[in-house]
Amino acid sequence: MKVLNENIILSKEFNLNTEIEKSLEKIKNKLDIDKNDVINLLSIPRESPIVEDILNRADEVCREVTGNRGKVWAAIGIDYSSCKMNCKFCSLGDKWNNNKKSYELSEEQILSLADKFVKQGIDWLVLRTTEFFDIEKLVKYGKILNNRYGKDKDFILTANTGTDATIEAEKLKDAGFEMVYEAMRFREGDDTNFDVAEREKAMKNVISSGMILSQYLEPIGPEHTNEEIADRMEEILGIGTKVSGIMPRVAVEGTPKYKLGEIDKNRIAQITAIFRIFSKDKIEDMIIHPLTEKSLRCGANSLVVDIGAIPRDNTMYLDAWNGQDIEKSKETLLKNGFDVKVK
């Protein structure tokens, strides 16, 4: 029997065992699943026709929970610089990033990009920074944007910044931010140099402040086991995350993780579907980024538009990364049967 990455069985000789059958029966009968079911369902070969039943059920759950609403997450990467944290999957790692220059968008550029996004009808406006960006400057931008669009704005102002800044969640809330992205990554503390306890503290501070906590399953690579994936799903739900998603790792040449490659798109869809069924109404909006369109038919309902500094590249983008702008994102959501905000 051929085994890929120690957890994905590819052999055509695969046979259902009793435990997997029990998990599939729960799917069939629209019952809640637990972490053991997640592991069982992830162990089914992604080529198996059985997986399609899981995907279809996840699509039903997604349409029910979201009210069939497709959403767009618009992220402005404010600054670019090499980072001493040297996460093994990130293009910005100082040890392997050959571009030692630093770039930062001006206030005028940030406001211009924000205005454009808001006019196009986005659902989240996200200010993303590198790890050591000055929190006082981020607070200033938050206040400016909050005053600019007012209390009646129809999007959620979001911060995606360093852990030390996120720990000061009350400052971000006072600046007008309503949601913070702070993720515990796969193999945190091993593939990264972050302190797991500090990450947990930051997330708990976001929740205790009254802001929304967002975090994805990220960055998923082909080496991550079914057990690891199930553990992260359970942790994401357990801490009180409200907006989540799936973020497959992009293989950035030169990074330590590059040689491991990227996860198969069918596997991404399988993980998305199982996460949607597992989370049910605990997570309303589930993002898929970068885009794997199949995931929009099995659990995900939201897309990301990236502009500015991108952790998957070593430059600043003043146009949408990967060509996925607001218009294309909405067209993709509509094509996959979702309703989107019209401005």
Ramachandran assignment for 330, one of left (phi > 0), alpha (psi -120 to 50 degrees), beta (any other): alpha
Mean predicted confidence (pLDDT) in 84-111: 95
In contact, 275 and 246? CB cutoff 8 Å: yes
Instruction: Give per-residue pLDDT as tens, 140-157.
Output: 999 999 999 998 999 999
Q: Does the residue 53 lie in any domain?
A: no
Q: Does the residue 52 lie in any domain?
A: no
Q: Does the residue 20 lie in any domain?
A: no
Mean predicted confidence (pLDDT) in 110-134: 97
**pLDDT score of 15:** 63
Q: Does the residue 341 lie in any domain?
A: no
Q: Residue 132 contacts by C-beta under 8 Å, 6 or more apart in sequence? A: 83, 162, 164
Q: Does the residue 90 lie in any domain?
A: yes
In contact, 275 and 233? CB cutoff 8 Å: yes
**pLDDT score of 314:** 81
In contact, 24 and 50? CB cutoff 8 Å: yes
For residue 171, give the nearest of 193, 202, 149 by alpha carbon.
Answer: 202
Number of domains making up the chain: 1
Q: Does the residue 12 lie in any domain?
A: no
Tokens of 77: 């990467």
Task: State the residue range of the domain holding 150.
Answer: 63-335
For residue 35, give the nearest of 235, 269, 225 by alpha carbon.
Answer: 235
Distance CA(237)–CA(221), nearest Å, equals 21
**pLDDT score of 14:** 54
Residue indicated by tokens 């799903």? 233
Mean predicted confidence (pLDDT) in 248-254: 95
Mean predicted confidence (pLDDT) in 285-307: 98
Instruction: Give per-residue pLDDT as tens, 161-203.
Output: 999 999 999 999 999 999 999 999 999 999 999 999 999 999 9
The residues that bridge with 3 in the sheet, in sequence order, are 9
Q: Does the residue 149 lie in any domain?
A: yes
Q: Residue 317 is part of a domain; what is its CATH number?
A: 3.20.20.70
End-to-end CA distance of the chain: 54
Q: pLDDT averaged over the chain?
A: 94
Task: Report the predicted TM-score, pTM, of the whole model to 2 decimal places.
Answer: 0.93
Interior angle at CA 296, CA 291 and CA 298, nearest 5: 130
Q: Does the residue 282 lie in any domain?
A: yes
Is a pLDDT exceeding 80 seen at residue 13? no
Is a pLDDT exceeding 50 seen at residue 9? no
Judge residue 109's burial from the number of C-beta atoms within 10 Å of its C-beta, 0-12 exposed, 13-18 middle, 19 or more buried.
Answer: middle
